[in-house]
Amino acid sequence: MVLFIIPWILGIYLIQRDNKLLIMYGPIASAIAFIHNEIGLHFEWWSLHPKDMELMIALISNIGVYPVSGCFMLYFLRQNKAYLSVFIFAAILTTLVYTFSLLNKVQFHHGWNIGWTFLSYLTANTLLYFYYLLYQNKVKIAR
């Protein structure tokens, strides 16, 4: 539950600062997370423990930590260089996964490691950023 409750407590701050950000970009961040986790679990590049709760843990992450962190990344990239925000949030998520791997809540298999994890988050954050750019250029939002 830590991957759901704590992110959404922080998400309340984000909603107060920019209530449209989570509504517009949270669903795509969640969709990217679902695809990311489905691929990783299908190919058994990683496993989540306890094993009998693996799908529930992935679901909680996909609708908790990933959309909220992705929207925080977008919030901060408005004030900083985009590539720096994409990189920093990939590093934060990688550190979170590394911490869970030390606690034996995540295990890597078939050559997957923390480096591949960082690259996967870098890719996911970049996809979200490109979606953000696409949306910003196509749709004008009344502020």
Task: Write the pLDDT tens digit of every residue in 70-105.
Answer: 999 999 998 888 899 999 999 999 999 999 999 999
Q: Which residue has the tokens 């959309």?
A: 67
Position 111 confidence tier, pLDDT thresholds 50, 70, 90 = very high
Cα dihedral 54, 85, 128, 70 sign = positive
pTM for the model stands at 0.90
Closest CA relative to residue 60, chosen from 98, 68, 95: 68
Residue type for position 58: A
Omega of the bond leading into 7 within 30 degrees of 0 (cis): no
Instruction: Give the span between the Cα atoms of 77 and 73, in whole angstroms.
Output: 6
